Structure formats: C-alpha cells, structure tokens
Structure 1
Amino acid sequence: MSSVTVKGQVTIPKPVRDRLGVKPGDEVKFELTPEGRVVISKQRGKPGRSRFAALRGRAGKGLSTDQILALTRGE
C-alpha cells in the first residue's frame, strides 16, 4: 500500500517496480479502465523529444541587429 504526498506523488512498491523493470528516471504510464481500475505500465522505447528540444540549435547566421532594427522601423 502507498500513500499520496501533498505533491501528488506515490511510491511504487519495489515488487511492482521489479516486475515492470522500472528504474530511476524511467517513465511510467497510468491508464484508467472503464471499471475504474488504474493500469501502470513502463513506457517502452525512447521518449519523444520535447517541443523545445526540437527547436534547439535552429538559429543560423542571419541578420545583424542593425538590419533587424531597420526592418522593424520600416527603413
């Protein structure tokens, strides 16, 4: 049996973690069944990149600050 903390966190009992092969840093999925039960499963594969990680490193050599200011001023 586990308790819910004030932050909404629950400790997954060790026998369940061992059975699922869950280790620190792994992601788990919680699903509700129509009967009201909760199914916990380990996410398989690599997690998808976040929308921020997908944009990282995209800026290339572009306009200078003076050129950008001129464009915004309509010059």
Structure 2
Amino acid sequence: MMKLNSKGQVTIPAELRHRHGLVEGDEVDVIGGSGVLRIVRNHELTRGQRAVPHVRGILGPGRSTDEVMALTRGE
C-alpha cells in the first residue's frame, strides 16, 4: 500500500518500478475512470488512447460504428 503525501505524491515501490522498467526521469500519465487510477508511460499512449476511459460507455452498449457515426453527423 502507498500513502499520498502532503504534496499529492506517491512513491512507486522499487519492485514495481523494476518490473515495469520505470527509471528516474520517465514521464507518466495518471488516468482516471470508473473509480480507478492508472499510471502509464505517456509515450506509449496516443491522444485517442488517453481519451477512451473518459468517453467509454457514453452512448450505451450495443451500437454499431455506423449508428454512432450517424449520430455524430446528425443523421
């Protein structure tokens, strides 16, 4: 378990840093969604991949790509 310090920082345990190849100076993003925070290297995600957790489920389940595109075009 990690504790948040007064500056809002956490220390990623050394074992996890080593396992995932994180080193000092690596840039990471913290992505929130559905009550979960994920720490990811920011160079591995595209802008679209970072947006997915924020928009997933907005239109509800079961719509085809064609249906979603028609909605975005106002058809």
Q: TM-score, normalised by structure 1?
A: 0.50
Q: From the two aligned structures, give the one with the greater helix fraction.
A: 2
